[in-house]
Amino acid sequence: MEKLELKYGCNPHQKPACLTRKDGGDLPLRVLNGRPGYINFLDALNAWQLVRELREAAGLPAAASFKHVSPAGAALGLPLTAEDRRAFFVTGDEPLSPLACAYIRARGADRLCSYGDWAALSDVCDADTARYLKDEVSDGVIAPGYTPEALAILKTKKKGGYSIVAMDPAYVPPQQECKDVFGITFEQGRNFVRIDESLLGNIVTESRDLPESARRDMIVALITLKYTQSNSVCYVFDGQTIGVGAGQQSRIHCTRLAGTKADNWFLRRHPKVLSLPFREGIRRPDRDNAIDCYLSGEEQDALLAEGSWQQTFTARPGPLTAAEKRAYLSRVSGVTVGSDAFFPFGDNVERARRSGVSYIVQPGGSIRDDHVIAAADKYGITMCFTGLRLFHH
């Protein structure tokens, strides 16, 4: 039986720790560099499943940015706009590979939460992707392979200690999975359910408008939710997540949390944010923190206080007021929201539409489905019931 010894488990005092296969076979992965830990591998293996399924469903390279066993972001490899490049700190204007675009967009979903992420790539990592990853604070990456140039670039990261894992793309796990909790073994059939457009046929609202772009975004939402700790809600726009609410005990809190993240994703494109006068040499994480503070009420006041802004900016920027935020966000539309279980009340729809949601995909099955449908009809939202719950624990 192949065994990969780990430094420790979830915490330093949890020793010994290792990876093995229950069936005694060889591990379907290789560590090419660094020393990934227990949580790193939990992120890596969940993220790998997500990007592999996105790749199969959409036919495009896919990437994910994982933190604490949930995606901070996931995306398809669609081209970056000029605005994307500014918001995601992409220097230069040369074309980038689809895989690089996928990771840049995945990390750009929530750059603050992606700090110290585990990256997952559906395709062989190329030099474009490696160069962008090299300048981000990241713990490691998993991919089916690496070009020689990409591997050489990544091996220089973290003083040569960056964790690089190659995953066998042909590996298929057993049908049955098990988990140990308090010395008791849980067993269940693995969640091999296929997510594709066949799930989107049951449109329950008066609006039946469901363009191809919205269908694609629904698939992105559902596959992302399949690997997000429940309860979870996911906002998607233009082939990428823009807000993930994971592991909340209340569905409305998921919707609010993810909606706030989606709002911030759009506000990062506000002209005032894109033109913030950062001091030369400010690191990307510091810029991300400053932007997050700038978009927050009390934190904006502290950031712009006399004597504080000089540490970050070359000139004191004007505030972004609540009225300016509302006016900017009022123009947003075409956003898709997905939920891993049914919306129990119409308040989820009310909150979602404030973040420009035009399309909703959820399992349905609440005793108040009629109220939820009525809320969607009130705003002309198109909603699909999939009949498929996607809890993940």
pLDDT of residue 92: 83
Average pLDDT estimate for 220-248: 97
* Known catalytic residue at 253: no
Instruction: Evaluate whether 383 touches 239 at the Cβ level (below 8 Å).
Output: no
Q: Which residue has the higher pLDDT, 374 or 24?
A: 374
For the chain, percent of residues with pLDDT exceeding 70: 100
| 158 and 42 part of one domain | yes
Catalytic hit among 231, 264, 289, 348: 231
* Known catalytic residue at 393: yes
pLDDT-derived band at 234, boundaries 50, 70, 90? very high
pLDDT of residue 267: 97
Number of domains forming the structure of the chain: 3
Distance from C-alpha of 310 to C-alpha of 314, rounded to nearest angstrom: 6
**Model pLDDT for residues 70-106, shown as the tens digit of each residue:** 999 999 999 999 999 999 999 888 899 999 999 999 9
Lowest-pLDDT choice from 59-68, 269-278, 285-294, 297-306: 297-306
Domain range holding 292? Answer: 276-319
Task: Confirm whether 377 is domain-assigned.
Answer: yes
Kindly report the CATH number assigned to the domain that includes residue 200: 3.40.140.20
| 233 and 259 part of one domain | yes
pLDDT tops 80 at residue 374: yes
* Known catalytic residue at 67: yes
Task: Confirm whether 152 is domain-assigned.
Answer: yes
Instruction: Evaluate whether 366 touches 349 at the Cβ level (below 8 Å).
Output: no
Sign of CA dihedral 260, 267, 133, 95: positive
pLDDT-derived band at 244, boundaries 50, 70, 90? very high
| 295 and 346 part of one domain | no
* Known catalytic residue at 270: no
| 148 and 211 part of one domain | no
> Could you count the other beta carbons within 10 Å of the beta carbon of residue 59?
9
Distance from C-alpha of 66 to C-alpha of 50, rounded to nearest angstrom: 10
pLDDT-derived band at 22, boundaries 50, 70, 90? confident
Kindly report the CATH number assigned to the domain that includes residue 305: 1.10.287
pLDDT tops 80 at residue 122: yes
| 246 and 355 part of one domain | yes
Task: Confirm whether 185 is domain-assigned.
Answer: no
Angle at 203 between CA 233 and CA 329, to 5 degrees: 45
Beta-carbon contacts of 134 under 8 Å, excluding residues fewer than 6 positions away, are: 153, 154, 156, 157
pLDDT of residue 143: 98
| 217 and 292 part of one domain | no
Average pLDDT estimate for 127-135: 97
Average pLDDT estimate for 169-183: 94
Q: Which amino acid is at 146?
A: Y
pLDDT-derived band at 371, boundaries 50, 70, 90? very high
| 85 and 124 part of one domain | yes
DSSP characters for 110-169?
A: STTTTTTEEEEESS-B-HHHHHHHHTS-EEEEEES-B-HHHHHHHTTGGGGT-EEEEE-T
Catalytic hit among 68, 134, 158, 392: 68
**Model pLDDT for residues 249-276, shown as the tens digit of each residue:** 999 999 999 999 999 999 999 999 999 9
Beta-bridge mates of residue 29: 167
pLDDT-derived band at 308, boundaries 50, 70, 90? confident
Q: What are the two backbone dihedrals, phi and then psi, of residue 203, each rounded to the nearest 5 degrees?
A: -85, 120
| 41 and 89 part of one domain | yes
pLDDT of residue 298: 85
How high does pLDDT run on average in the chain? 96
Catalytic hit among 67, 155, 261, 325: 67
pLDDT tops 90 at residue 381: yes
pTM given for the model: 0.96
| 116 and 74 part of one domain | yes
Catalytic hit among 11, 13, 159, 393: 393
Average pLDDT estimate for 129-140: 97
Distance from C-alpha of 127 to C-alpha of 87, rounded to nearest angstrom: 21
If DSSP codes are grouped into helix, strand and coil, which group holds residue 84?
helix
